[in-house]
Structure 1
């Protein structure tokens, strides 16, 4: 068993993870800001670009789940499992995840009620809210936090199993893929669970990938950090295969949606699942490698901006749909294609900058801001066994 000093030496700070969070939230904003354009602009000469931004950038949610798991297992795996540890874990989740989730569920549910259901009875309103709160459906993006909560419930159990049977940790990746695909296929042919994307089993591969890398990161670090010092023939071959496979799967993913939306081409639903899975699964590793490159090589001002965005990402995730909703109330009243394109681009910029400004100012000046946006101020870097960053959009 490693002693405490050895553990502390190995579990270094990982500020690069904030960059991965920044990349992930940019992906989410790209997908959400092009959701209308990807269908409305089918006749445009630039439809390929809207479709690309809407599909290729769909790595956000899987990356957040991967990061959340990575941080949890990185911080917790070598620690003695105790009631105090688990109690502290759930206390942080309650304060910094479930409370903000509940607050924003109330906010979005109330907003939609005022806009679209003002005549609904009080009883129906209450029942509807309870149902949506318990299923992550108060607004379209809150399913992600709902999934994260499910993983938080599972985490102590999986951690206990891995500590009890350490040999299983080496099989975490194939176990995750097997569970996820068993659920996908069972659901397709037998279960037919509605809104399967709101259930953690749909993302188990990413959670277990994060678990594997979090546990073995000290041994794997040299593979992730692409540098001249780490470059061996085997690693370089692995890096090339990884990036080519990721790009190929991503472009294929984009291509089938392009044909489907533009020409009505129909594909087997399993193909969509497969390409999305390969594209985003490999993408989590690519983004992690990219973060190390940007953190080391990019101008400090640029990497610092990504770090700040990563620190704000959970809050940005929660609030950005509100700004998109308001922005879309004022579409351009013109047939000019240039203005239309600018309007769609403006949606992305509005969601990004308005969200960042509101979250940053709230965290800085409003007492108890964690009620709205979680424990943002302390999520600047991953520290050894200091569990304040775990929702990887944290998520966390």
Structure 2
């Protein structure tokens, strides 16, 4: 790995925007349970919730980008060192947080019986111990196969067009393989790495070709923006159609979602670059949130659970207050707890980092 490369400053702001989207997704899911379907407020919250569904694919895209950038197309991977570092950085925290959340569920009575072998495999293998931990399972799967992907990239160095064609073909193939053979036996598609082939692959290309970013954005930004707007609008409209009781084509729905997540993700990366170049106060705040994003991601569901215990909204006005105030409280507490724990001996088991 080339350690002499400068850091991509826009990445922290990108992570900051992504974690804001994650927290908003989870907190706006509560109004969707409380408000009657069909009322304007429910439709608005649905639109916001769905429009933010780029968050996890964006995190995965950034993970691929940073890893590819750090190693580079000419870099060689020392396999043992690579897997050892990822074990410490991701696998151990995944196991620790899974255990913590399962303990919480046990204490609150949501898990009471002795788990089966299948349940243990789902919990500790595919992130089903709590609703947000599947992301870490996908990251681990990506790290497992990355050295092989790197060898492919080192040997062939595909162009952007060829990369898109390969990724689109693989993504379509996985959709049909999953629908016909996997899903009937394993209905946890979101926990599988191939579900995110397209955004992860684009992230790899961006990471290996950082020098081409300015040309890419200058030449294709309008096209990328149009794809993001059109695909995002279609995706939200299709989801609203499902809520209205209409049948939709799930193939188009899934493919358009991935297109939306990828194109809006590229837009956010370059928006973050503009924020960094402007050096404004907002970019500093978003960047700081990005620095703490891993810890915020892991702990914020706990504070959301507490917030629901403190405040159970019933009316529309209460729902609005619950959402807006809850976002500030949950984000603040999650950030402060992460900041504090990163400076204790718990930093390594919880976050996979050396005590700051």
Q: Same fold (TM over 0.5)?
A: yes
Match of 2:267 among 263, 286, 289: 286
Secondary structure at the counterpart of residue 132 of structure 2: helix
Which residues of 2 match residues 54-65 of structure 1 at below 5 A? Answer: 54-65=49-60
Question: Which residue does the alignment assign to 1:31?
Answer: 25
Q: Are residues 1:13 and 2:7 paired?
A: yes
Which residues of 2 match residues 71-150 of structure 1 at below 5 A? Answer: 71-82=66-77, 85-117=78-110, 119-121=112-114, 124=115, 128-150=119-141
Secondary structure at the counterpart of residue 207 of structure 2: helix
Measured in 2, the distance between the counterparts of 1:181 and 1:14 equals 32
Deviates more, 1:60-69 or 1:367-376: 367-376
Measured in 2, the distance between the counterparts of 1:93 and 1:321 equals 24
Secondary structure at the counterpart of residue 284 of structure 1: helix
Q: Are residues 1:370 and 2:352 paired?
A: no
Q: Are residues 1:250 and 2:247 paired?
A: no
Match of 1:348 among 324, 327, 332: 327
Unaligned residue ranges in structure 2 (runs of 5+)? none
Question: Which residue does the alignment assign to 1:228?
Answer: none
Question: Which residue does the alignment assign to 2:248?
Answer: 267
Secondary structure at the counterpart of residue 126 of structure 2: coil
Question: Which residue does the alignment assign to 1:200?
Answer: 193
Distance change >3 Å, CA 22–CA 208, structure 1 → 2: same
Q: How many residues align?
A: 352
Unaligned residue ranges in structure 1 (runs of 5+)? 225-230, 379-396
**Post-superposition shift, 1:40?**
3.0
Normalised by the length of structure 1, the TM-score is 0.82
Measured in 2, the distance between the counterparts of 1:176 and 1:342 equals 42
Distance change >3 Å, CA 75–CA 54, structure 1 → 2: same
- Of structures 1 and 2, the one scoring higher in RCO (CA 8 A, sep 6+) is 1
Measured in 1, the distance between the counterparts of 2:213 and 2:159 equals 17
RMSD: 2.4
Measured in 2, the distance between the counterparts of 1:187 and 1:126 equals 23
**Post-superposition shift, 1:154?**
0.3
Would the aligned equivalents of 2:102 and 2:111 in 1 still touch at CA under 8 Å? Answer: no
Normalised by the length of structure 2, the TM-score is 0.91
**Post-superposition shift, 1:155?**
0.3
Would the aligned equivalents of 2:93 and 2:352 in 1 still touch at CA under 8 Å? Answer: yes
> Which deviations, in whole Å up to 9, do the C-alpha atoms of 1:109-164 show, x marking residues without a partner?
1111222356424xx37873354112211111111000000000000011122223
Question: Which residue does the alignment assign to 2:222?
Answer: 240
**Post-superposition shift, 1:61?**
0.7
Distance change >3 Å, CA 133–CA 190, structure 1 → 2: closer
